[in-house]
Structure 1
Amino acid sequence: MLESIPDIFLNTTNREFRVLLAIENSMKFYEWVPKEEIADFTGYNQKETDFLLTRLAANKLVQRSNGAYEGYRIYFEAYDLLALNALVSRDSVNAIGEIIGVGKESKVYEVTSGITGRHAIIKFHREGMMSFKKVRIKREHIEERRHLSWLYASRLAAKREFEVLKLLYPQVSVPEPIDHNRHAIVMSVLKGQQLAHARVDEPGWYLDEILKQVTKAYQLGIIHADMSEFNVFVNPEGCEIIDWPQYVAAAHTNAKELLYRDIENILMFFQRKYRIKRDIQGVINNITYA
Structure 2
Amino acid sequence: MKTPASLLMLIDEGVIDEVLRPLKSGKEASVYVVRAGDDVRCAKVYKDMAQRSFQKRAQYQEGRKSRGSREARAVASGSRYGRKQQEAEWKNAEVDALYQLREAGVRVPEPYGFFHGVLVMELVTDAEGFSAPRLGEVELTPEQAREYHAVLVRQVVRMLCCGLIHGDLSAYNVLVGPDGPVVIDFPQVVSAGGNNAARTMLLRDVNNLTATLGRWAPELLDTWYGEEMWELFEAGTLLPDTPLTGQFTPDERSVDLDGVRDAINDARELALIRQQGREAQDED
**Which interval holds the TM-score relative to the shorter structure?**
0.5 to 0.7
Q: Counterpart of 2:150?
A: 208
Question: 155, 164, 170: which one pairs with 1:228?
Answer: 170
Q: Does 1:4 align with 2:2?
A: yes
TM-score, length basis structure 1: 0.63
Using the TM superposition, give the Cα deviation of residue 140 of structure 1 relative to its aligned residue in structure 2, in angstroms: 4.2
For residues 169-199 of structure 1, what are the alpha-carbon distances to aligned partners after superposition, in whole Å with 9 as ceiling and x for unaligned? 1511101111112331100002331001011
Using the TM superposition, give the Cα deviation of residue 254 of structure 1 relative to its aligned residue in structure 2, in angstroms: 2.2
Q: Does 1:122 align with 2:43?
A: yes
Map 1:171-186; keep pairs closer than 5 Å.
171-186=105-120
Q: Counterpart of 1:106?
A: 29
> 1:246 and 1:163 mapped to 2: Cα distance?
12
Question: 189, 199, 206: which one pairs with 1:256?
Answer: 199
Q: Alignment length, in residue pairs?
A: 207
Q: Give ranges in structure 2 of 5+ residues lacking alignment.
A: 62-71, 126-131, 243-284
Map 1:31-180; keep pairs closer than 5 Å.
80-81=4-5, 83-114=6-37, 117-126=38-47, 127=49, 128=52, 130=55, 133=58, 136=61, 138=75, 140-141=77-78, 144-145=79-80, 155-170=88-103, 171-180=105-114
Structure 1 runs of 4+ with >6 Å offset: none
Q: In 2 relative to 1, CA 4–134 (structure 1 residues): closer, same or farther, beyond 3 Å?
A: farther
User: Are the aligned partners of 2:94 and 2:187 in contact in 1 as well (CA < 8 Å)?
Assistant: yes
Among all aligned residue pairs of Structure 1 and Structure 2, give the percentage whose two residues are the same amino acid.
23
Q: In 2 relative to 1, CA 112–281 (structure 1 residues): closer, same or farther, beyond 3 Å?
A: same
Q: In 2 relative to 1, CA 87–156 (structure 1 residues): closer, same or farther, beyond 3 Å?
A: farther
Q: Counterpart of 2:228?
A: 285
> 2:185 and 2:15 mapped to 1: Cα distance?
20
Q: In 2 relative to 1, CA 155–96 (structure 1 residues): closer, same or farther, beyond 3 Å?
A: farther
User: Are the aligned partners of 1:263 and 1:284 in contact in 2 as well (CA < 8 Å)?
Assistant: no
One-letter code of the match for 2:134?
A: Q
> 1:155 and 1:131 mapped to 2: Cα distance?
17
Q: Counterpart of 1:190?
A: 124
TM-score, length basis structure 2: 0.64
User: Are the aligned partners of 1:132 and 1:152 in contact in 2 as well (CA < 8 Å)?
Assistant: no
User: Are the aligned partners of 2:59 and 2:197 in contact in 1 as well (CA < 8 Å)?
Assistant: no
User: Are the aligned partners of 1:165 and 1:176 in contact in 2 as well (CA < 8 Å)?
Assistant: yes
**Which shifted more, 160-169 or 120-129?**
120-129
Using the TM superposition, give the Cα deviation of residue 158 of structure 1 relative to its aligned residue in structure 2, in angstroms: 2.7
User: Are the aligned partners of 2:166 and 2:205 in contact in 1 as well (CA < 8 Å)?
Assistant: yes
Using the TM superposition, give the Cα deviation of residue 133 of structure 1 relative to its aligned residue in structure 2, in angstroms: 4.3
| RCO comparison, higher one (Cα < 8 Å, 6+) | 2
Using the TM superposition, give the Cα deviation of residue 271 of structure 1 relative to its aligned residue in structure 2, in angstroms: 2.2
Q: In 2 relative to 1, CA 204–226 (structure 1 residues): closer, same or farther, beyond 3 Å?
A: same
User: Are the aligned partners of 1:131 and 1:153 in contact in 2 as well (CA < 8 Å)?
Assistant: no
Q: In 2 relative to 1, CA 153–200 (structure 1 residues): closer, same or farther, beyond 3 Å?
A: farther
